[in-house]
Amino acid sequence: MQSRTSLSSWQNLVNAGKHMKTQHMSELFKENPQRFEQFSIKLEPFLLDYSKNIISQQTMTELINLAKECQVESWREKMFAGERINATENRAVLHVALRNRSQKPISLDGENISDDVQKALNKMKDFSDKVRQGHWKGYSGKRITDVVSIGVGGSNLGPQMVTEALKPYSDNSINVHYVSNVDGTQIANTLRPLNPEKTLFIVSSKTFTTTETMTNAKTAMRWLVASSFDESAIAKHFVAVSSNNQNATEFGIAQENIFDMWDWVGGRFSLWSAIGLPIAIDLGFEQFIELLEGAHEIDNHFCEAPLEQNAPVILALLSIWNCTFLGAQSQAILPYDQSLHMLSAYLQQAEMESNGKSVNWQGESIDYPTVPSIWGELGINGQHAFYQYLHQSNNIVPADFIGSVESVTPVKGHHETLMANFFAQTQALMQGVDEAQVREDLKAKGRTAEYIDKVAPHKVHKGNRPTNTILMKRISPRSIGSLIALYEHKIFTQGIILQICSFDQWGVELGKGLANNIQAQLAQNTISAEHDSSTQGLMQFYQSGKKS
Ligand code: F6P
């Protein structure tokens, strides 16, 4: 397969990288007062400012050329047309069909799937309305007050992140809880204050084979049956979301309580499906639709905007620029809105499970750096923890700063302080401060020459650290939908340019298989001599500790 490295735009970018590494952004800003205008995009729910990257107009032109040479537009069309672009699993990638709010049909193998999607949405509406209005009753005839969503990875992070983000939009008529960890502590702590008569469980698992989810669901079932003394109570307290109807039924979920998923929806792109049921129960179905609407708006933008003005494409290209051509190895996601406190965890799965791979579409080793590791934390908390590293370490960590013009929960004086930090941080990361300036400042403060010599080098900030700023008008179901879709399409574009199969996740299988094997040995108190000495030693220590 022709390596991307042989493309002329790629070669030009290698050279551009060498040149741009010698440039400082603060100089580029001084030279070009139009830089913000030139390198920002205004969309309905947010402004994307990418001017604080080490780029010139020439760099952007070459990056757009790269997107063109990699045929991003035609791959995008293939995705929306339902072609099986998830090649290793021979599946279409159609999460966009779940939020297709237009009248335009989306087809798969010649069949319009919009009707199936609509049917699934109707079922979600019906069920979420019943639960919220108290018409869905528990085994003793009481209304449901608490919903526990059991799932992990894509069957947890999306719905939980959105639930957390949109808390101010909930009427709190139902308490929604999430359990993802197989560590019994989480489910024990979640169930302790709950009344089984009024608790509904949603078991979310696309495959319905995930050990952690099945273990938690079995524990929940035992808890319910211990209270009701009657297995028929399960039908009133358990629903499932899965594409594996057979396993869900065998598990004991009533057929009518199973919400379908399709193999053309990847787990980490599934919050728009019935995996989003906890969101609909928490916020009401109308607000769930708003979320879909917001995502659909970005789908339209992604399909229609020229590449130069296409926000997901620009984000993907900048990530590739920073990592592949300038050498960054990680990227921070830094939200300055408390409601987005789970965003970096969510994007970690979305990007790293999608593109954290090292072979191309043909299975050949990729000979260039691909995507960074994604990490992050609420910005303000990060400022008092790891920003030291962002400002002064030898490793450059490009970062996305995400904030809101208006707070959904305004408290006098808070938002200005928050946002002052938001603006100051990207400025500081870009500008830095050189030694001459540091010395001058210390002198102005009346410091001695001896003190200045000692401290000045420690106070130098080299700056020139790339950031994107996404400034949302306000957190809302619609704007959160848009924000997530923005990143989803960024990830898609990165995958196309880097020739990565973004929609499989074989890398999680090896560990799962070994864990099953080890679990069987732990249950029998045996240790296979085939394990390496480290694994044997650890298991021995564990087993002997358990016996004592
Ligand atoms: O182990 C990784 C993974 O397969 C993710 O891709 C997925 O989101 C998660 O596990 C949960 O899978 P499921 O929904 O099938 O339980």
Neighbours of 34 (CB within 10 A): 8
- Summarize the confidence of residues 25-31 as an average pLDDT: 98
Residue 141, burial from CB neighbour count under 10 angstroms (0-12, 13-18, 19+): exposed
**Ligand 1 geometric centre to CA of 152 (Å):** 6
* Pocket lining: 86 vs ligand 1, CB cutoff 6 Å: no
pLDDT for 1 equals: 83
**Ligand 1 geometric centre to CA of 203 (Å):** 13
Which of 398, 530, 484 lies closest to 54 in space, CA to CA?
Answer: 398
Q: For residue range 85-95, what is the model confidence (pLDDT) as tens digits?
A: 999 999 999 99
384 is known as an active-site residue: yes
Residue 504's φ and ψ, nearest 5 degrees, are: -110, 180
- In whole angstroms, what is the distance from residue 432 CA to residue 463 CA? 4
Which residues are bridge partners to 325 per DSSP? none
**Ligand 1 geometric centre to CA of 298 (Å):** 25
E strand spans, 257-389: 258-260, 330-335, 373-376
- In whole angstroms, what is the distance from residue 327 CA to residue 14 CA? 11
Residues in contact with 304: Cβ distance below 8 Å, sequence separation at least 6, in sequence order: none
In the three-class reduction of DSSP (H, G, I as helix; E, B as strand; rest coil), residue 71 is classed as coil
From 91, 150, 152, mutation site for ligand 1 pocket: most ligand atoms within 8 A of C-beta: 152
- In whole angstroms, what is the distance from residue 130 CA to residue 321 CA? 50
pLDDT for 546 equals: 84
pLDDT for 216 equals: 98
* Pocket lining: 210 vs ligand 1, CB cutoff 6 Å: yes
Residue of the CA atom closest to atom 8 of ligand 1: 154
Neighbours of 156 (CB within 10 A): 27
In the three-class reduction of DSSP (H, G, I as helix; E, B as strand; rest coil), residue 140 is classed as coil
Q: Mutual orientation of helices 57-69 and 477-498 as an angle, nearest 10°?
A: 70
286 is known as an active-site residue: no
* Pocket lining: 267 vs ligand 1, CB cutoff 6 Å: yes
Q: For residue range 333-381, what is the model confidence (pLDDT) as tens digits?
A: 999 999 999 999 999 999 999 999 999 999 999 989 889 999 999 999 9
Q: For residue range 238-251, what is the model confidence (pLDDT) as tens digits?
A: 999 999 999 999 99
**Ligand 1 geometric centre to CA of 281 (Å):** 22
pLDDT exceeding 70 applies to what percent of the chain? Answer: 100
Residue of the CA atom closest to atom 13 of ligand 1: 205
Which of 372, 414, 392, 405 lies closest to 498 in space, CA to CA?
Answer: 372
Neighbours of 66 (CB within 10 A): 23
- Integer-rounded Cα radius of gyration of the chain: 26
Q: State the closest ligand 1 atom to the C-alpha of 270, by its place in the atom list counted from 1.
A: 8
- Of the candidates 353, 415, 488, 490, the residue annotated as catalytic is 353
User: Structure tokens of 74?
Assistant: 């035609």
Contact (Cβ atoms closer than 8 angstroms) between residue 258 and residue 444: no
* Pocket lining: 268 vs ligand 1, CB cutoff 6 Å: yes
pTM for this prediction: 0.97
From 155, 245, 351, mutation site for ligand 1 pocket: most ligand atoms within 8 A of C-beta: 155
* Pocket lining: 236 vs ligand 1, CB cutoff 6 Å: no
- Of the candidates 30, 68, 142, 512, the residue annotated as catalytic is 512
* Pocket lining: 508 vs ligand 1, CB cutoff 6 Å: yes
**Ligand 1 geometric centre to CA of 259 (Å):** 17
- Of the candidates 104, 256, 384, 547, the residue annotated as catalytic is 384
**DSSP run (H or E) holding 415:** helix 414-431
Contact (Cβ atoms closer than 8 angstroms) between residue 35 and residue 51: yes
Q: For residue range 42-63, what is the model confidence (pLDDT) as tens digits?
A: 999 999 999 999 999 999 999 9
- In whole angstroms, what is the distance from residue 66 CA to residue 313 CA? 11
Question: What confidence tier does 173 reach under pLDDT thresholds 50, 70, 90?
Answer: very high
**DSSP run (H or E) holding 146:** strand 146-150
- In whole angstroms, what is the distance from residue 319 CA to residue 317 CA? 5
* Pocket lining: 188 vs ligand 1, CB cutoff 6 Å: no
- In whole angstroms, what is the distance from residue 103 CA to residue 93 CA? 20
**Ligand 1 geometric centre to CA of 374 (Å):** 19
* Pocket lining: 213 vs ligand 1, CB cutoff 6 Å: yes
Residue of the CA atom closest to atom 10 of ligand 1: 153
Q: State the closest ligand 1 atom to the C-alpha of 155, by its place in the atom list counted from 1.
A: 14
Scanning 499-532, the segments in alpha helix (DSSP H) are 509-523
**Ligand 1 geometric centre to CA of 437 (Å):** 52
From 156, 210, 348, mutation site for ligand 1 pocket: most ligand atoms within 8 A of C-beta: 210
* Pocket lining: 344 vs ligand 1, CB cutoff 6 Å: no
**Ligand 1 geometric centre to CA of 373 (Å):** 19
Q: For residue range 399-411, what is the model confidence (pLDDT) as tens digits?
A: 999 999 999 999 9
- Summarize the confidence of residues 280-297 as an average pLDDT: 98
Our measurement of the distance from residue 442's CA atom to the centroid of its chain's CA atoms, rounded to an integer in Å, reads 43
C-alpha dihedral sign at 355, 293, 377, 466: positive
Residue 114, burial from CB neighbour count under 10 angstroms (0-12, 13-18, 19+): middle
pLDDT at 548 over 70: no
Q: For residue range 141-161, what is the model confidence (pLDDT) as tens digits?
A: 999 999 999 999 999 999 999
Residue of the CA atom closest to atom 6 of ligand 1: 267
Question: What confidence tier does 547 reach under pLDDT thresholds 50, 70, 90?
Answer: low
- Summarize the confidence of residues 281-308 as an average pLDDT: 98
* Pocket lining: 266 vs ligand 1, CB cutoff 6 Å: no
* Pocket lining: 154 vs ligand 1, CB cutoff 6 Å: yes
pLDDT at 191 over 80: yes
Question: What confidence tier does 501 reach under pLDDT thresholds 50, 70, 90?
Answer: very high
Which residues are bridge partners to 147 per DSSP? 176, 200
Residues in contact with 421: Cβ distance below 8 Å, sequence separation at least 6, in sequence order: 336, 379, 380, 383
